[in-house]
Amino acid sequence: MNYEERFSDAELVQIIEEGLIYMCACPAQVADALRKLRELYRYQVNCLEDAANAALVHQTIAHGVIASHAQLQDCLDRVLELEQWDRATLRMPDGLRRRQMQEL
């Protein structure tokens, strides 16, 4: 039982930082939610290692996290595509950067 990571933790941080710099919080919020899901998953795996815990409860949570993680990665992929982020550097496109800076 595991999930696929299409974005590394470092890439999620890059997206969050770009969003904070240019005040475009929506992609950053999705990236942050993915990081939190990963934390929740690791927590559940840790709980499963303790035989005194109800395994079915933690397996159920872990499976829910896996499904949610996949959906949010799909969402982030699509958002980055729609906003035309540079996928190699995960930098926000210049046009969106300029728009955000003008609103400041």
Supply the pTM of this predicted model: 0.85
Stretch 11-17: mean pLDDT, rounded? Answer: 95
Q: Kindly tell me if the per-residue pLDDT of 42 is higher than 80.
A: yes
Query: Taking a C-beta distance cutoff of 8 angstroms, is the pair 76, 7 a contact?
Result: yes
Confidence band (pLDDT; 50, 70, 90) for 95? confident
Residues in the chain: 104
Q: Kindly tell me if the per-residue pLDDT of 104 is higher than 70.
A: no
Q: What is the pLDDT of residues 50-65, one digit of tens each?
A: 989 999 999 999 999 9
The pLDDT of residue 100 is 62
Confidence band (pLDDT; 50, 70, 90) for 101? low
Question: How far apart are alpha carbons 54 and 62 in whole angstroms?
Answer: 13
